[in-house]
A and B are shown apart, each in its own frame.
Chain A
Amino acid sequence: MNEIFMNIGFWVLGITAVVSSLFMVTRENPVHSALWMLLTFFAVAGIFIQLDAEYIAAIQVMVYAGAILVLYMFVVMLLNPKSTGFIKMPFKVVLGGVVAVVLFVQILMTLMGTGVIKSTQLGNINYPEGFTNVKAFGTVMFTQYIVPFEVASVLLLVAMIGAIVIAKKD
């Protein structure tokens, strides 16, 4: 019973994610694209919840939907770019398609190699007693992956300072 519900949920969320991301790419109006992207984020967050990764789901909505996409919208609204009419530029479309396919195949190969998608079932993660998703995430992040984490934060700091320097040039 539970499994059926989980499966229905997964298929609904998965199809929503794929369809809305397709819409996102094909809309001519950038604001509409951004809104379809919002729907994609929500669907992906739902899939994360199904995988017992509530923390990542919440952060996904908070950071991507709540902050980054809002900034996109902000810029798009301010600049109000006209429709680019990219359908009329076959060379760029072909080039972009080739790059996209190559990247997709590469991601697929990598995933196949690591065995993440070999289990076809939506498995719950069995946390030890008194060990929640947030705790597990923090433990891994600050012990095993502390170096990449710190490198990433330094990178972000550099980007932030760079942005301030550029903005304050006058």
Chain B
Amino acid sequence: MVLAIVFTLIKILIIIVCTLTGVAYMTYAERKVIGHMQVRLGPVHTGPKGLLQPLADGLKLMAKEDMTPDMVDKPVFYVAPFLGMVPGLAAFAVIPFSENIYVANINVGLLYVLALSSVGVYGIIMSGWASNSKYATMGSLRSSAQVISYETAMGLSILGPVLLAGSLNLKEITEAQRGLWFMVPQFVAFVIYSISAVAETNRAPFDLPEAETELVAGFHVEYSSMRFAMFFLGEYANMYVVASMCAVLFLGGYTGPLLPPIVWFLIKMLAFMFFFLWLRATLPRLRFDQLMNLGWKILIPIALANLLITSIVVYAIRN
């Protein structure tokens, strides 16, 4: 019993360390990829090819002064960064990286991830409200509206693969894709998921909550030092979560020929992460009403129609 607990704790530790390293190097990859897409170089000076840049950034953030403005609501202000980061990291508990690399294999894994991603918005709302600043409030209001809207579309699009696999367990969903990736029969759901995943993580072109040109930095204007860094860790961890979910639900998870399962999983996840960066380098930011129109008037009806058709087809085949 005790041994099992220790073993689980070690697994959790390994996954968290890997995630945080991945997050750090995602910032490096982002700067490199976007740099090259704009025919620039990106970071090159810190270490070989600039590979130590994330470490330098981390050290810089830790060494900075941690300021708390006078008029903030202190307890909420202090708790908000943790609420922004923890759900992103906690979601990794149920993701099957390989046939036997996972922390927990629970029956409602998918709902667990969805629930945590919906809780993630609290970090943003609380930081915006507690900062007592108009930019932060604007950013957090936009964010909460956006996340609620796109969560609906995301949840509806996820139900397609769930219906095909007949399970909410992420491992069983992966195993159900041995023959054919769900991306093929559920292409519409895949597109809707991709769009709403970008919106859900507040990434460009849906990065209205932190639109630099209008809101300075959005909800984390008043934060500095490690508290600021935590928001970034949370954002990038969330990106990894939605990318892993995309790999599991639509791209066949760890299944694949020749290479070991974990490598397949990482390839699929990183491909989706690259898609995030690619979009950011390509598309301009949407206006807020366009964002809402896209979410409520286009994505949700299409997702509902897709769900209806899938249910009918699945029912017809099963009986």
Contact = CB atoms under 8 A, between A and B. Distances in A.
Interface of A: 1-2, 29, 31-32, 35, 38, 54-55, 57-59, 61-62, 65-67, 70-71, 73-74, 77-78, 132-134
B108 A58 contact: yes
B107 A54 contact: yes
A133 B129 CA distance: 38
Contacts, number: 78
Given A61-B118, A66-B115, A78-B141, A73 B108 contact: no
Interface string B228-241: 00000000000000
B138 to A, nearest CB: 11
A66 to B, nearest CB: 3
A55 B137 contact: no
B29 to A, nearest CB: 30
A77 B115 contact: no
B168 A134 contact: yes
Nearest to B126: A35
Contact of B125 (A32, A58, A62, A77): A77
A80 to B, nearest CB: 9
B114 interface: yes
Contacts of A1: 1
Contact of B1 (A2, A67, A74, A77): A2
B129 A77 contact: yes
22 contacts: A29-B73, A31-B76, A35-B79, A54-B106, A55-B107, A55-B108, A59-B115, A61-B116, A61-B118, A61-B119, A62-B111, A62-B118, A66-B119, A70-B121, A70-B125, A70-B148, A73-B125, A74-B144, A77-B141, A78-B141, A132-B169, A134-B168
A32 B107 contact: no
A35 B122 CA distance: 9
Contacts of B137: 77
Interface string B117-132: 0110110011011000
Nearest to A41: B119
A58 B116 CA distance: 9
A66 B126 contact: no
Interface residues of B, number: 30
Contacts of A132: 107, 169
A56 B293 CA distance: 32
A2 B1 CA distance: 8
Contacts of A32: 76
A38 B122 contact: yes
A31 B144 CA distance: 15
Contacts of A35: 76, 79, 122, 126
B1 A58 contact: no
Contact of A67 (B73, B107, B118, B169): B118
B111 A133 contact: no
B151 interface: yes
B278 interface: no
A111 B116 CA distance: 31
A57 B1 CA distance: 25
Contacts of B126: 35
Interface in B140-169: 140-141, 144-145, 147-148, 151, 168-169
Contacts of A77: 125, 128-129, 137, 140-141
B102 interface: no
A82 to B, nearest CB: 15
